[in-house]
Amino acid sequence: MPKRPDTLETVLLVLEMLRRIPRGRKISAPELHRQLADIGVERDLRTIQRQLDMLSEHFEIERDDRSKPYGYRWKDRAKGMSVPSLTEQESLLLTLAEQHLRNLLPANLMKSMEPFFVQARANLGPQASARREREWLNKVRVVSTMQPLLPPKIKPGVFEEVSNALYANRWLHVDYKSATGKATKAEVMPLGLAQQGPRLYLVCRFRGYDNERSLAIHRISSAKASTLTFERPRNFDLKKYDDDGRFGFGEGRRIRLTFRIARNAGAHLLESPLSDDQLVKEIGDQYEICATVVDSAQLEWWLRGFGTLVSNIRRQPMSERFHSGCSK
């Protein structure tokens, strides 16, 4: 396969760099160098620095040279890398995706998509003609079934390092403080990222162990992705980890749960059952519910939330023969 001309290589490098120069913050040559390396664009740091200096002279890019490494960003009113080909429908889809997937996509991917998000927001702005699409953003909403809470603050740079290490299958060095205040330094194998309400959790394995743990991202005080990669374990499945109730502080132990609940409080369980094998029996002004569920602290909190409206709670391990008055 013939080698591409140097001119084409330089153009492709410049385009990738322009896409990654942000607006609201500054990016340094070493940071840009790492981002490019993550997508397979290998250039020495000096080349990146030289190209950044050239771009700041010919584009509306601000260079902050008050301290090293220098920082670069698009000026406030700069057009940057516009994407005029986006339709109004595509702009709507991208805007919704940005709102709901921001914490579930690799940080480097979100940064590379920033020019598209900027253009999508512009296409749906008050001066644009996409009135119907703009109105749609105020017609849909994801609502919480629990008391709304503000998301905990995540230390600057932590999410970027965590998500990039997860994306590239790289070992991750973390400084972590548990809910009880115990500080830990560890090297972990990032395996999954989950959003539970306003909180983000990293599922990982500590080096030297073969069991999974969940670390709250906001309790990580610092994180640094290693240059060393790992082979993702074939026996790990994030969906199964969730199905086993691990995010609800369970250990995957399934039980047959039976309880009685007042009709007005339990009516929603007829529409949204606890499990596929749920059975319901009417007893006076109560429902008796039988279902196979994962035993967890989250289940206990859910039952306690009904107070005196729930009674006769029984838990029976699935290994035992189940005898119950609840039947079809």
Q: For residue range 105-135, list pLDDT tens digits in order.
A: 777 667 767 777 877 887 788 877 778 888 8
CATH class of the domain whose range is 6-74:
mainly alpha
Query: 149-176, pLDDT tens digit by residue?
Result: 788 899 999 999 999 899 989 999 999 9
pLDDT in tens, 232-266: 999 999 988 888 888 877 777 889 999 999 999 99
pLDDT value at residue 226? 93
- Which residues sit opposite 260 in a β-bridge? 288, 311
pLDDT of 274: 93
The whole-number pLDDT of residue 325 equals 42
Q: Is 28 exposed, middle or buried (0-12, 13-18, 19+ CB in 10 A)?
A: middle
Q: What is the pLDDT of residue 322?
A: 47
Q: Where in the sequence of the chain do the CATH 3.30.70 domains occur?
A: 246-317
| Per-residue model confidence (pLDDT) at position 17 | 86
CATH 1.10.10.10 residue window(s) in the chain: 6-74
Residue 191's pLDDT is: 96
Query: Which residues of the chain form CATH 2.30.30?
Result: 158-237
User: Both tokens of residue 182?
Assistant: 């115990």
Question: Which stretches of 86-237 are DSSP H helices?
Answer: 88-101, 107-123, 131-136, 158-168
Tracing tokens 């279902």 back to the chain, one arrives at 291
Those residues of the chain that have pLDDT short of 70 are 1-8, 24, 77-85, 108-109, 112, 319-328
pLDDT in the model for residue 80: 59
- CATH code: domain 158-237 is 2.30.30
- Residue 1 pLDDT: 38
pLDDT of residue 174: 97
Q: What's the pLDDT score for residue 320?
A: 53
Pick the CATH number of 246-317 from 3.30.70, 1.10.1060, 1.10.287, 1.10.150: 3.30.70
DSSP letter string, 286-306: EEEEEEEEEEEHHHHHHHHTT
**Beta bridge partners of residue 6, listed in sequence order:** none
